[in-house]
Structure 1
């Protein structure tokens, strides 16, 4: 049975390597590296006071628990203000650094000196390299946060390429780019981005950009993978965690509804990065590689798509490199609350 699974995985274009103790197979990237099919998100989100502060050990312990549970990828960013705790969690886990795929991101305030910014991230992580470095956003700001800084992402990408040449990042990629931006980047780069990170969930299928990235051999990472699943706000679209369709499928496989959602994304070829600071939830989220949804179930779940963004900073839309749909009345809050 194991031999058959390995053969099927090779045909599907994935790498099965249990030597590092991880539970997720690895997906080949266009630069010769490979990324785990699921990782731990580390952003703590926002509350009524803005970005939540990072308390002592609040990210370190979840990273340690995740690696002990079989995760082999952790996603962070300079903007999350937790890179030091991510690094501490990796070291506390006992898992060798070379077995852990670390992702961090260039902050929008530091796009004029990519290499220096990455060196600062590496200092906070206490690491000599990251496995993947992403441009966090095409919308950039002045270093003192006094307003927009208009920086062409093509210029920023040259700095990303330099960081890779220096060995500071094994792979480089982008986040929160739209298709036209990716097309422009591909027409003007030396190194093709290996990964695009965007919001993907049942509420926001991202079919067009997923198809486009597949045609360009760019792997898509999906943040906010649960969409509105845990939301108690009635205006948010279905499904919620107790949705009858989800619970029926979950019962069939002896899984939870969040596990069904994650498995759906994995089968679409998306690399989800669910976040949690609860040990039991962290352990639950990685256990989605021992079953497979049918084609009919995948089709059923796809019908939840409403092209609804949980993360929709429309108040940035005056920036010339704003990547999302423009609206008549920009959102007043920084980010809509998310699980």
Structure 2
């Protein structure tokens, strides 16, 4: 079983489904990535701010899989924004990952309070792309206003915008803007980010009756239904888990298809309530922290 490919706007091919390692402790990351690669994943998503790039690289190096067959995605944290700082941020990530080339390098946040630094960071990504040190570049948590300002200054259209997308928070305006400009939407928290929603006054997506009924109809789990919803609508999805059984379950989504009515029913669950932090609230004062050299 292989992950369906998605072709980015610069013709780089990326597996649609990847393993995320957000909040995965370094000592658990290696085993989680190894389990994912053994299951069949060929796309791993990490970030400088996660503190586990080294363990991701070690798991990939230890696997009996050619490096060229694994798509590595990572992110530059806001503390390393600025042209020279971002070039150095790449060097730190590549060194920890143990690779010379990163498949997809993205900016982790828009940093709207200091957007000039964001633009300089993206200019560095363009340099890295031109030099062949990365194969594709993109952004994360950019809203329409951020994408508009970026496109006005950039020479390379981002290949990907990784944002919070799940049945309860779909960000259709951002997705539609991306589609109009050839920017692929990649979903973080694709099955609901339930840790964010425990105190939000509504149920988890995993307990949603509409999703549950669809899951029963297909003999699948609610998580598998949500991942299938993403894939059928053309998004990349980055589920995370450290449990081999759940990692395998999240990969077992290629042998069934949701109907148009089922897709529409899930579309109708949007609450408009964000689970993660507001992109406008990301500042260096509140969220900045140094990214270690090693």
Give the superposition deviation at 1:238: 3.6
Correspondence for 1:218: 183
Q: C-alpha separation between the residues in 2 aligned to 1:215 and 1:283?
A: 34
Query: For residues 303 and 238 of structure 1, do their structure 2 counterparts lie closer, same or farther at Cα, with a shift above 3 Å needed?
Result: farther
Moved more, 171-180 or 152-161: 152-161
Q: Give the one of 32, 39, 46 matched to 1:69.
A: 39
Q: Does 1:190 pair with 2:155? A: yes
Correspondence for 1:96: 66
Q: C-alpha separation between the residues in 2 aligned to 1:73 and 1:229?
A: 23
The answer to whether the Cα contact below 8 Å between 2:192 and 2:206 also exists between their aligned partners in 1 is: no
The superposition leaves residues 182-228 of structure 1 with CA deviations (integer Å, 9 ceiling, x where unpaired) of 12222221111111111100111111111111111111111011225
Q: C-alpha separation between the residues in 1 aligned to 2:61 and 2:88?
A: 24
Give the superposition deviation at 1:230: 6.7
Q: C-alpha separation between the residues in 2 aligned to 1:44 and 1:261?
A: 21
Q: C-alpha separation between the residues in 2 aligned to 1:240 and 1:165?
A: 41
Q: C-alpha separation between the residues in 2 aligned to 1:153 and 1:233?
A: 32
Correspondence for 1:6: none
Q: Does 1:181 pair with 2:117? A: no
Give the superposition deviation at 1:243: 2.9
Q: Does 1:41 pair with 2:20? A: yes
Q: Give the one of 110, 125, 128 matched to 2:100.
A: 128
Q: C-alpha separation between the residues in 1 aligned to 2:192 and 2:236?
A: 15
Q: Which runs of 5+ in 2 are unaligned?
A: 287-294
Aligned residue runs from structure 1 range 101-250, under 5 A: 101-112=71-82, 113-139=85-111, 151-229=116-194, 233=198, 235-250=200-215
The superposition leaves residues 130-181 of structure 1 with CA deviations (integer Å, 9 ceiling, x where unpaired) of 10000111228xxxxxxx8664422221111111122211100011111122
Compute the TM-score of the two structures, normalised by the length of structure 2: 0.90
Give the superposition deviation at 1:106: 0.8
SS at match of 1:24: coil
The answer to whether the Cα contact below 8 Å between 1:250 and 1:256 also exists between their aligned partners in 2 is: yes
Structure possessing the higher relative contact order (Cα contacts under 8 Å, 6 or more residues apart): 2
Q: C-alpha separation between the residues in 1 aligned to 2:26 and 2:69?
A: 27
Q: Does 1:266 pair with 2:199? A: no
Give the superposition deviation at 1:266: 1.2
The answer to whether the Cα contact below 8 Å between 1:65 and 1:93 also exists between their aligned partners in 2 is: no
Moved more, 280-289 or 90-99: 90-99
Query: For residues 95 and 79 of structure 1, do their structure 2 counterparts lie closer, same or farther at Cα, with a shift above 3 Å needed?
Result: same
The answer to whether the Cα contact below 8 Å between 2:224 and 2:250 also exists between their aligned partners in 1 is: yes
Misfit runs of 4+, over 6 Å: none
Q: Give the one of 282, 307, 313 matched to 2:272.
A: 307
Q: Give the one of 52, 60, 63 matched to 2:30.
A: 60
The structure whose residues are more often helix, as a share, is 2
The answer to whether the Cα contact below 8 Å between 1:115 and 1:160 also exists between their aligned partners in 2 is: yes
The superposition leaves residues 11-30 of structure 1 with CA deviations (integer Å, 9 ceiling, x where unpaired) of xxxxxxxxxxx621111111
Q: Does 1:296 pair with 2:261? A: yes
Look at both structures and tell me which one has the larger radius of gyration over its CA atoms.
1
Give the superposition deviation at 1:229: 4.8
